[in-house]
Amino acid sequence: MSNIKSAFKNGKAFIPFITCGDPDLEATGRIVRAAVENGADLIELGIPFSDPTAEGPVVQESNIRALSGGVTTDRIFDFVRELRKDITIPLVFMTYANVVFSYGAERFISTCAEIGVDGIIVPDLPFEEKEEFQPLCSQYNVDLISLIAPATEQRIAMIAKEASGFVYIASNLGAAWAKSDIITDITSIIRTVRENTAAPCVIGFGVSTPEQASEMASVSDGVIVDAAIIEMIEKYGKNAAEPIGEYIKTIKEAIV
């Protein structure tokens, strides 16, 4: 296992999602550092893609803004190299299979290892096709993180048995956007996951308030917040680091 396990060593993990390059990479760097200073245990960095099918409109627009600003995979790799000069907590990329394929899978994954990215989340990679990337991830010690959506108990168990890093559990069947209510039977999904893997369980997709974060953390090992943070970036632009840091502090305090 990579360094990801360290995110869970002190209790419940808080994981913010941040799109690289929205509004620009300099602002992203400030946001990442504010997140770390206010208690983030792991950062999920989004590599923008033109057709982010797992995302709701908030994160889709974030991808569009980043791409319109000229961000590229190579620029993001350089950005992470710079981050790693002072950021030591685990980092994972969230991106799409076409980004990895177009860059070259071995080149992409080996570069992740070289710059200190601990894992990758590829939401449009079906479990049945994970062998496209899994051998390379194993070779370079980069966790290929499993995403589990509400499904049959048998399928959840099958995915969990091969989990690496942590298990990302989607709280609903929709795209990743802030929701006022989370209606999925999370408890039964987590029970099945825990019966089949020792990897930590983290809940995302729709978590946005301290109350939701506390509720989800009570049955899991951590929470991911995505759209709520992206909405703040959209609102505050290059000045988003400070309000996001304050928001992250409230979420972290809610899940301790």
**Per the domain annotation, does 173 fall within a domain?**
no
Kindly state the average pLDDT of the residues 75-96: 97
Kindly state the average pLDDT of the residues 128-135: 95
Arithmetic mean of pLDDT over the chain:
92
Which residue segment(s) compose the domain that 227 sits in?
3-146+208-255
Kindly state the average pLDDT of the residues 68-86: 97
pTM to 2 decimals?
A: 0.93
**Per the domain annotation, does 21 fall within a domain?**
yes
* Overall size of the chain counted in residues: 256
**Per the domain annotation, does 190 fall within a domain?**
no
Kindly state the average pLDDT of the residues 117-129: 95
Angle between helices 73-83 and 105-115 (to 10 degrees): 20
pLDDT value of position 182: 46
Query: Closest by alpha carbon to 255, among 206, 222, 227?
Result: 222
pLDDT tens digits, one per residue of 133-155 = 999 999 999 999 999 988 889 99
**Per the domain annotation, does 103 fall within a domain?**
yes
**Per the domain annotation, does 48 fall within a domain?**
yes
Q: Kindly indicate the confidence band of residue 67, based on its pLDDT and cuts at 50, 70 and 90.
A: very high
pLDDT value of position 2: 66
At residue 24, does pLDDT exceed 80?
yes
At residue 71, does pLDDT exceed 90?
yes
Per-residue tokens: 35: 């997140």
pLDDT tens digits, one per residue of 159-191 = 999 999 999 999 765 444 444 444 458 899 999
**Per the domain annotation, does 113 fall within a domain?**
yes
Alpha helices in 69-199 (DSSP H): 73-83, 97-103, 105-115, 134-140, 153-161, 186-194
pLDDT value of position 206: 83
CATH assignment at residue 97:
3.20.20.70
**Per the domain annotation, does 162 fall within a domain?**
no
Long-range pairs of 24-30 with CB within 8 A, sequence gap ≥ 24? 24/69, 24/71, 24/238, 25/71, 25/75, 25/76, 25/79, 26/238, 27/233, 27/237, 27/238, 27/240, 27/241, 28/79, 29/79, 29/82, 29/83, 30/240, 30/241
How many domains does one find in the chain? 1
**Per the domain annotation, does 248 fall within a domain?**
yes
Angle between helices 227-236 and 241-255 (to 10 degrees): 160
Q: Percentage of the chain with pLDDT > 70?
A: 93
pLDDT value of position 57: 84
Q: Kindly indicate the confidence band of residue 256, based on its pLDDT and cuts at 50, 70 and 90.
A: confident
